[in-house]
């Protein structure tokens, strides 16, 4: 896999101005009381939300600490540590929180050690448990952390605090260094929590998804109208969600304009029925492609019925149709779910 896609590590900062202080407090409140833009925090009682490593454990404490340790140009730095949800899905659910916490603390320690800051640095971080809003795979567990750092760091040589900075030039690129440390730490975490074959397993997942995209080599199963009223071809198919589950939905070429090509299109999947086994999904996608009879609304209706079934009922339905070995074309044309 492209190891640069293993974990997002972004850095931002707030200026030591009245506006910067206001923005910083608003950010701290948001981080404390939200999981994402659309989700309230699950646990906000007392001081449980923040992990304090010298920057405080509440909005008021952290805001004051940022002000006490600010530099002339920086009130506070904030980092986001967001592992790839496809990799997180390989980690046992009960281990994911610890995985992300260890990743966060190890990356910060190793990054500043690589910069020659042996005294360490104060930080506090909050762990969020949001769900993905990726239209191709919504609702996946997406744990990540937001880290708060001060605008200065203690310099042992000078015996005082000096401005903390993140250079990005030819001589030294701290952002690139942060990404390298994050990548190395993610590899170590995956080997420890998942096993030495984690990358091979990811490649198998990616290969399965690539194979599923080949459905567009067949004749389209129907059409849909885009926002401009244009007709776009759609293909009923599957997309591997993770190593255990697959979704049924449809593929379509969506507008994805670039600077070089404003009319560029990108093939994307939209799930309609989720939580299926790989075998179930492959069989039911073939059934739906036949039964929709070119009607997009019919496809959505049938997929909605499938989505409302419990696993045992779906298995019973497949059994009534003759089981997984039954050729789709032999299913009665007036089959009703």
Give the tens place of pLDDT for each residue, 138-151. 999 999 999 999 99
- Render pLDDT for 6-31 as a digit per residue (tens, 0 to 9): 999 999 999 999 999 999 999 999 99
- Contact status, residue 57 vs residue 48, Cβ threshold 8 Å: no
- Contact status, residue 235 vs residue 214, Cβ threshold 8 Å: no
The CA distances from residue 225 to 228, 230, 232, 252, 296, in Å, are 8, 5, 6, 11, 10
- Render pLDDT for 239-257 as a digit per residue (tens, 0 to 9): 999 999 999 999 999 888 8
Assign 333 a pLDDT band (cuts: 50, 70, 90): very low
Q: How far is CA 21 from the centre of its chain?
A: 29
How large a percentage of the chain has pLDDT more than 90?
Answer: 74
Cα separation, 287 vs 217, in Å, equals 18
Domain(s) labelled CATH 3.30.930.30 in the chain stretch across: 3-196
* Segment (H or E) for 80: strand 76-83
Cα separation, 180 vs 1, in Å, equals 15
CA dihedral 103, 105, 110, 113 (to 10 degrees): 170
Predicted local confidence at residue 334, as pLDDT: 44
Q: Report the pLDDT averaged over residues 188-196.
A: 98
Query: What is the 8-class DSSP label of residue 33?
Result: H
Residues β-bridged to residue 330: none
Cβ count near 284 (within 10 Å): 26
Beta-carbon contacts of residue 316 (< 8 Å; ≥ 6 apart): none
Assign 327 a pLDDT band (cuts: 50, 70, 90): low
Q: In this model, does residue 183 exceed pLDDT 90?
A: yes
Cβ count near 317 (within 10 Å): 17
Cα separation, 334 vs 186, in Å, equals 52
Cα separation, 115 vs 133, in Å, equals 35
- Render pLDDT for 285-306 as a digit per residue (tens, 0 to 9): 999 999 999 999 999 999 999 9
Least confidently predicted of 46-60, 214-228, 316-330:
316-330
Assign 55 a pLDDT band (cuts: 50, 70, 90): very high
pLDDT averaged over every residue in the chain: 91
Q: In this model, does residue 185 exceed pLDDT 90?
A: yes
The CA distances from residue 233 to 4, 201, 212, 226, in Å, are 33, 32, 16, 10
Cα separation, 81 vs 103, in Å, equals 8
Cα separation, 143 vs 81, in Å, equals 9
- Render pLDDT for 66-93 as a digit per residue (tens, 0 to 9): 999 999 999 999 999 999 999 999 999 9
Assign 120 a pLDDT band (cuts: 50, 70, 90): confident
Q: Of 227, 266, 225, 267, which is closest to residue 250 (Cα–Cα)?
A: 267
- Render pLDDT for 201-241 as a digit per residue (tens, 0 to 9): 999 999 999 999 999 999 999 999 877 778 899 999 999 99
Protein fold of 3-196: BirA Bifunctional Protein; domain 2 (3.30.930)
Predicted local confidence at residue 202, as pLDDT: 97
State the DSSP string of 83-103.
Answer: E-HHHHTTS-GGGHHHHHHHH
Q: In this model, does residue 336 exceed pLDDT 60?
A: no
Least confidently predicted of 75-79, 169-173, 274-278:
169-173
Predicted local confidence at residue 331, as pLDDT: 47
Predicted local confidence at residue 44, as pLDDT: 57
């Amino acid at each position: 896999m492209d190891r640069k896609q293993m974990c997002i590590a972004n850095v931002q900062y707030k200026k030591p101005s009245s506006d910067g202080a206001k923005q910083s407090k608003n950010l701290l409140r948001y981080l404390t009381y939200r999981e994402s833009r659309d989700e309230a925090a699950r646990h906000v009682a007392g001081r449980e939300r923040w992990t304090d490593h010298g920057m405080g454990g509440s909005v008021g404490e952290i805001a004051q600490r940022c002000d006490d340790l600010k530099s002339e140009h920086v009130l506070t730095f904030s980092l986001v540590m967001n592992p790839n949800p496809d990799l997180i899905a390989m980690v046992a659910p009960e281990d994911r929180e610890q995985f992300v916490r260890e990743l966060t603390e190890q990356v910060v320690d190793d990054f500043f050690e690589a910069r020659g800051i042996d005294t360490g640095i104060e930080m506090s971080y909050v762990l969020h448990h949001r769900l993905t809003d990726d239209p191709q795979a919504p609702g996946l567990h997406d744990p990540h952390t937001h880290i708060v750092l001060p605008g200065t760091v203690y310099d042992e040589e000078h015996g005082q605090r000096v401005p903390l900075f993140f250079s990005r030039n030819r001589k030294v690129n701290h952002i690139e260094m942060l990404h390298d440390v994050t990548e190395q730490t993610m590899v170590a975490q995956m080997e420890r929590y998942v096993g030495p074959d984690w990358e091979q397993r990811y490649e198998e997942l990616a290969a399965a998804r690539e194979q599923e995209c080949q459905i567009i080599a067949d004749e389209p199963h129907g059409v849909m109208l885009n926002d401009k009223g244009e007709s776009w071809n759609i293909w009923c198919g599957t997309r591997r969600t993770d190593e255990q589950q697959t979704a049924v939905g449809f593929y379509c070429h969506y507008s994805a304009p670039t600077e070089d090509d404003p009319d560029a299109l990108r093939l994307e999947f939209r799930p309609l029925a989720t939580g299926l086994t790989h075998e179930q999904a492959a069989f039911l996608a073939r059934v739906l492609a036949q039964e929709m009879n070119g009607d997009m609304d019919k496809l959505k209706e049938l997929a909605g019925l499938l989505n409302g079934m419990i696993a045992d009922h779906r298995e019973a339905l497949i059994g009534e149709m003759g089981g997984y070995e039954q050729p789709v074309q032999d299913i009665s044309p007036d089959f009703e779910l």
